[in-house]
Amino acid sequence: MQITVLAGLNSKFGELWDISPRDLVKEVFHGTLKNSNMNKNDIDVVFVGNMLAGTLGGQNHLGAFFAEELGLERPAIRVEGACCSGGLAVHSAVLGISSGIYQTALVIGVEKMTDHKPEKVAEALMGAGSDLERDAGASFPALYALIARAHMEKYGTSEEEMAAVAVKNHYHASLNSHAQFRNPISIEKVLKSPMIASPLKLLDCSPISDGASALILSSKSKALSLKKDDPGVNIVSSVVATDTLGLSERKDLTTLNAVVTASCKAYKMANIDPGDIDVAEVHDCFTIAEIIAMEDLGFFPRGQAGKAILEGKTRLGGRPVVNTSGGLKAAGHPVGATGVKQIVEIYQQLMGVSGKKQVKNAKIGLTHNVGGSGATAVIHILKRG
Amino acid sequence: MTISPVKIWRNQKKVRAFLGKTGRIITWTKVHVPPCSFTSQAPYVIIVVEIDKNLRFTAQLVDWEETNLKTGQTVKAILRKTRDPGLEGVIPYGIKFKPI
């Protein structure tokens, strides 16, 4: 499978009270279109990744909503899968192009969360959990706290190791002009931040954010007809897997089965091993999630990832470099945008245009986008040339 | 978010089957920052309980002391109000656990 990324762009992520979702999407669309050297009429279809516009904003019909806003009289489809809505929108575009029905697709990821009070957003996000979890008042931090405690007891993972994820991602975000939090932090600061759901503290958690991301994807043949001398960046794997909605239906809480299943298939599809990945954007909605991602993706043996992160093995200069954007933790987590943003970040890394956060000679990159507490996982692998 | 009274009525039929069951805590967390509908209960404890090899349950733990907050603690399923009643005024009841 070869789908070419023609262009991709992220808006600034953060508390963007003066910008509406319409304006966020318009900004990233026009910027992406300009970078792709294409005409609006070249776009055959629009996929919109979003989770909360219906629950929080009262607008569910986002395909038509943004098609109208962007002046695109084209098929337009909204895709939802909790926090991996963006990744699923990219996957849907890949399917559409692979089918031969569409040649060129616009993928939008967007979320507007900070217009609403945090308790309301926390409740809306619980829509991704099981009935039992919602009845128990299990917020998202609570679900990942249950996972964190299980991982700590089984492998001896420490709160310092979890804190090291946030410290690394804040450092990377300090090099990203579009990130929500660009302030460096220390392990001590994470450990002393207020408790949210024990053992997770405020600085173990990704923030509530606004933001939008856009991608233009096309079939390789169409891309070749446009850019004769540049092989560009291609998506070589796009895999989705699902697991049970709730934690109590799972045998092991220290791994996300959907990620293991999807990543194994993705490596096979790309004909590579985990060791071939130069740079990865992973779903660090909570610091424990990045530790488990490192193990589920096969980057480190079980129980070893926390230590490796603490030693700086996944920081700029290490390998694989993880979350050069700052991840969800520090770049921000507008949930519908995140999965699209991850592809944009890897695309920029493989094109060599990432500036201060550039990973030297990055040739192969991976994105890991997770919905709920692991019920859906979307893995993409991208290659230069 | 208000829950439909019909849904409350439908779900309460399932509750009876779990009352009185015992199990062990697999993992737990104490929630300090609650979502809407749970603000009056915070801080509260959520546990995953293993009732038997093939049955686990996620619910709140009530009547606890700090010494009960550990994996392996035995607990028993009881009936409790689960969240603040919405505008419909129907009080949702469901399963919570207490240490034994």
Whether A375 and A284 share a structural domain:
yes
Q: Are residues A45 and A174 in the same domain?
A: no
Whether residue A264 lies in the annotated active site? no
For A239, the enclosing helix (H) or strand (E) is: strand A233-242
Residue A85, classed as helix, strand or coil, is helix
Whether the bond into A184 is cis, omega within 30 of 0: no
What is the C-alpha to C-alpha distance for residues A315 and B58, in angstroms, rounded to an integer? 36
pLDDT in the model for residue A144: 98
Angle between helix axes A287-296 and A257-270 (nearest 10 degrees) is: 50
* CA distance, residue A128 to nearest chain B CA (Å): 14
Pairing of strands A279-281, A321-322: parallel
Structural domain ending residue among the three candidates A198, A226, A254: A226
Number of folded domains that form chain A = 2
B64 and B50 in contact (C-beta within 8 Å)?
Answer: no
Q: Are residues A304 and A216 in the same domain?
A: no
Name residue A290's amino acid: E
For residues A149 and A255, state if they share a domain: yes
* Closest by Cβ to A153, choosing from B49, B71, B94: B71
* CATH code: domain of residue A297: 3.40.47.10
Same-domain pairing of A261 and A360: yes
Nearest-Cα distance to chain B for A248, in Å, is: 5
**Interchain CB contacts (distance < 8 Å): A and B:** 101
Contact A37, A269 (CB under 8 A): no
Which chain A residue has the Cα nearest residue B92? A135
Q: Identify the CATH assignment for B5-99 out of 3.20.20, 2.60.40, 3.30.70, 2.40.50.
A: 2.40.50
**Contact status, residue A122 vs residue B37, Cβ threshold 8 Å:** no
CA distance A275 to A295: 13
Q: How far apart are CA A96 and CA A264, in angstroms?
A: 23
Q: Who among A122, A131, A145 is closest to B35 (CB)?
A: A122
Contact B58 A130 (CB under 8 A): yes
Q: How far is A198 from chain B (nearest CA, A)?
A: 5
Instruction: Looking at the structure, tell me whether residues A201 and A350 fall in a common domain.
Output: yes
Does A321 lie in the same domain as A215?
no
Q: Could you say which of A169, A192, A226 is where a domain stops?
A: A226
- Residues composing chain B: 100
CA-nearest of A346, A359, A254, A376 to A305 is A254
Q: How would you write the pLDDT of chain A (385 residues) with one tens digit per residue?
A: 789 999 999 999 999 999 999 999 999 999 999 999 899 999 999 999 999 999 999 999 999 999 999 999 999 999 999 999 999 999 999 999 999 999 999 999 999 999 999 889 988 998 888 888 999 999 999 999 999 999 999 999 999 999 999 999 999 999 999 999 999 999 999 999 999 999 999 999 999 999 999 999 999 888 888 766 677 999 999 999 999 999 999 999 999 999 999 999 999 999 999 999 999 999 999 999 999 999 999 999 999 999 999 999 999 999 999 999 999 999 999 999 999 999 999 999 999 999 999 999 999 999 999 999 999 999 999 999 8
Q: What ipTM does the predicted assembly reach?
A: 0.95
The domain locations on chain B are 5-99
Contact residues, chain A to chain B, C-beta under 8 Å: 118-120, 122-123, 125-126, 130-133, 135-139, 141-142, 145-147, 149-150, 153, 194-200, 246-249, 253
- How far is Cα A31 from Cα A42, in angstroms, rounded to an integer? 15
| pLDDT at site A228 | 60
How many other C-beta atoms are found inside a 10 Å radius of the C-beta of residue A350?
24
Q: How many CB atoms lie within 10 A of CB A384?
A: 18
Asked whether residue A214 is domain-assigned, the answer is: yes
Q: Say if residue A110 is in the same domain as residue A175.
A: no
Q: Which residues of A touch B39 (CB under 8 A)?
A: 119
Q: Mutate one of A154, A248, A250, A255 to test the B interface: name it (highest B CB count within 10 A).
A: A248
Same domain for A220 and A183: no
Tell me chain B's radius of gyration from C-alpha atoms: 14
Q: For chain A, say whether B26 makes contact (Cβ under 8 Å).
A: yes
Q: Phi first, then psi: give them for residue A253, nearest 5 degrees.
A: -90, 0
| Contact residues on chain A for B82, CB-CB shorter than 8 A | 135-137
- Give the domain range for residue A40: 3-117+209-226
